Amino acid sequence: MFDKRVVFLPVDERFCTRDYFLLLARAANINVVTPPKSYLGAKKTPPDIRRLHKWLDETVATGDYLILSIDMLVHGGLIPSRMSLDTLDTLKERLSLVKGLRARGVKIYATTTVTRTPFYNSAEEEPDYWQYFGLDVYDFSRLIARSYRGESVFSTIKEKMKNIPVSFIKDYLVRRVRNFNLVSQVIDLVKENVLDFLNLVLDDNSKESLSLAESEVHRRRVEELGIDRKVSIHAGADEATLSLLSRVLAECSESMPTFEVCYSSPEHRAFVPPFEGSPLWQGIENHIEAAGGRLVERDGDIVLLANNPGKGLDSPRQPLVPENTDSYERFFGYLLKAGHNIKGIADVKYTNGADNYLVKRLLEERELDWRETNYSAWNTAGNTLGTVCAHSIVQSLGQRGLLNLDSIEMKKLQAIFLLEHWAFQSNLRQRLIAQAERKGVRPWTVIPVEQWACEFVRSGLSEYRDVLEKSLGMDFEISDVFFPWHRSFELGLTIKAVV
């Protein structure tokens, strides 16, 4: 059994980045210590980094496992990493803390992010000028990416720069070069055995993105240094610490659970999911290995069932009834064949939510045992895959007696995933936005009507409770609903099992 303490520093204070980890750890009876949420800042407002470092210095002790976000450690969070004006020297000084912690005899598993370049005009998570020049900056960044790959694009870049104020171009490039160099410093820490493992994740990228081009440079360096077994470079971000948790548990159990993968649409396994730059099959392999597992062709400990797409489509745009159900029949055939193996269901059919048809059929499956099954379907394919791989490994270790799992807490976590990924993201969120607009509120925010919005969602979620209780074999109450960043995009909730 795992009897070590885990010190956890999340990338920010959101429910999906902090509480998902804590809930999975609690279900596995892992002793986790983490800073108070108030220490982690709030979206664009960075925390007091000196106080955070002081907390780490006073908390981390010999024998601990430290799972941390480098973005929080040096920038103060994911969003501040895209906006702060701190110099590289300042960031390197903050990064040096991990060497001191390592010297105490601590194992360190870290994640850091390749800075994204969104392809839309919005300053929601970016510097203010992104509201007006986001698309132009993205197009400019694509040209730089082409130059990384040896293309001659100088004249085109020069022409594109005419559309963007020089100060904004400078701001973007200075921060981007700084963050690239910081990632190089983090890779050095892996080579120096300061970090035991690194998840280098690409947040919202594409085949033509500068993020992907930069990651290719980092990948070549990792291979040249001979540390490719200790660094995983893949699409994702918010789920990255979950992968690190399952990897720690697998390594400490001296067990590497095996995964076999079944696709609902195998002919589309090479499809590149939205917001990513690599084929789905490659993303799956990367996430399995990052989480501490190993891919096999057949007879795996875990059957990863991918409900995969043939084209990019956002969850709210999914059809009420699929035109063809062949892929679903194939999926449920695989599910039945998996027997009592752990079954991880990665619903990546749509972005930003679940496949309604799939979930409704899953919940009707009378023989489905959620003690050996898990399901996720949130935001990007990478977010979902990382969550499913980590969840599956924890279940697999528990099935083999290597972890002492709390069955009620595991079911509560699954209930939260279904309530958030399916009930809210694919259904209630659209009703919430429509009702909020009638109250004169912009689609993205809920700040002017937040109390009403929380009650609206709480009431709406109760409509889904009966079917979930029946499928999970557990009665529960929804005790709290909140919006972590005061917007309609993500949800936080607390549930209590009714015994």
**3-class secondary structure for the chain?**
CCCCEEEEECCCCCHHHHHHHHHHHHHCCCEEECCCHHHHCECCECCCHHHHHHHHHHHCCCCCEEEEEHHHHHHCCHHHHHHCCCCHHHHHHHHCHHHHHHCCCCEEEEEEEECCCCCCCCCCCCCCCHHHHHHHHHHHHHHHHHHHCCCCCHHHHHHHHHHCCHHHHHHHHHHHHHHHHHHHHHHHHHHCCCCCEEEEEECCCCCCCHHHHHHHHHHHHHHHHCCCCCEEEEECCCCHHHHHHHHHHHHHCCCCCEEEEEECCHHHCCCCCCCCCCCHHHHHHHHHHHCCCEECCCCCCEEEEEECCCCCCEHHHCCCCCCCCHHHHHHHHHHHHCCCCEEEEEECCCECCCCHHHHHHHHHCCCCCCCCEEEECCCCHHHHHHHHHHHHHHHHHHHCCCCCCCHHHHHHHHHHHHHHHHHHHHHHHHHHHHHHHHCCCCCCECHHHHHHHHHHHHHHHHHHHHHHHHHHCCCEEEEEEECCCCECCCCEEEEEECC
Question: pLDDT tens, 57-106?
Answer: 999 999 999 999 999 999 999 999 999 999 999 999 999 999 999 999 99
* Pair of tokens at residue 54: 């002081």
Q: How far is CA 335 from the centre of its chain?
A: 25
Q: What pLDDT shows up at residue 352?
A: 96
Query: Which class for 213: exposed (0-12), middle (13-18), buried (19 or more C-beta within 10 A)?
Result: buried
Beta bridge partners of 496: 477
* Pair of tokens at residue 27: 């279900």
Q: What pLDDT shows up at residue 73?
A: 98
Q: What pLDDT shows up at residue 151?
A: 84
- Residues in the chain, how many? 499
Per-residue CA distances from 97 to 60, 86, 163 (Å): 11, 17, 42
Per-residue CA distances from 199 to 1, 46, 307 (Å): 25, 22, 25
C-alpha Rg value of the chain to the nearest Å: 22
From the list 110, 117, 100, 225, the residue with the least C-alpha distance to 179 is: 117
Q: For the domain covering 254-405, report its CATH number.
A: 3.40.50
pLDDT-flagged residues of the chain (< 50) = none
Query: Which class for 317: exposed (0-12), middle (13-18), buried (19 or more C-beta within 10 A)?
Result: exposed
For the chain, where do the domains classified as CATH 3.40.50 start and end? 1-252, 254-405
Alpha carbon dihedral 324, 357, 285, 188, in 10-degree steps, equals: 130
Buried b / exposed e across 254-283, counting CB within 10 Å, b at 16+? ebebbbbbbbbbeebeebbbbbbbbbbbbb
Residue bearing tokens 């090479």: 270
Q: For the domain covering 1-252, report its CATH number.
A: 3.40.50
Q: What pLDDT shows up at residue 409?
A: 98
CA-based torsion, 239, 272, 306, 464: positive or negative: positive
Q: What pLDDT shows up at residue 436?
A: 95
Angstrom distance (rounded) from CA 44 to CA 123: 11
Using alpha carbons only, give the angle 67, 106, 287 rounded to the nearest 5 degrees.
Answer: 35
Angstrom distance (rounded) from CA 400 to CA 183: 37
Angstrom distance (rounded) from CA 26 to CA 43: 26
Q: Are 233 and 200 in contact (CB under 8 A)?
A: yes
Q: Are 60 and 97 in contact (CB under 8 A)?
A: no
